[in-house]
Amino acid sequence: MSIFKTLGNMFSTKMEVEENFGWHNISTPEEVTDVLAASNEKPQVIYKHSPTCAISYLALKNLEGISDDYRKKAEYHIIDVVGQRSLSNHISEKLAIRHESPQMFVIKEGEVIWNGSHHQVKSNVISELL
């Protein structure tokens, strides 16, 4: 990828994710409830992404670089915090964790076992937790 395309993607208002990664787009409050319930069977990762933020773009690309082994150990969900502000706020309220962006939650058995934002959002965190 050229440097100009990378810079253009960093400041785009459109959320572009790696198709092969397997992100599930959260689009309703009911899906948030479903993700929490699913965490009883398999760990769930929620990533709150801002398509207009360079740090968020770099964190997303880092997460998408996680190995296939760790991709299979959890389900990965993403939400566009700019396009779905009220749903992003709903997630913060439901998890009782202040909103930040970018922000990642790792959830097991209905509980957030790790959350972090900005430069804390890295694929190695997932590898260590799973």
* CATH number for the domain harbouring residue 57: 3.40.30.10
Domain contains 4: no
pLDDT > 80? residue 29: yes
Cα–Cα distance between 130 and 116 in angstroms, integer?
Answer: 16
Domain contains 2: no
pTM of the model: 0.86
Domain contains 83: yes
- What's the total number of domains in the chain? 1
- Beta strands at 44-49 and 24-25: parallel, antiparallel or unpaired: unpaired
Domain extent for 107: 18-129
Which segments of the chain does DSSP mark as H helices, in order? 3-10, 29-38, 54-63, 68-72, 85-95, 123-129
Cα–Cα distance between 60 and 46 in angstroms, integer?
Answer: 12
User: What pLDDT, on a 0 to 100 scale, did the predictor assign at position 4?
Assistant: 45
Q: What digits encode the pLDDT tens for the residues 81-126? A: 999 999 999 999 999 999 999 999 999 999 999 999 999 999 999 9
Domain contains 10: no
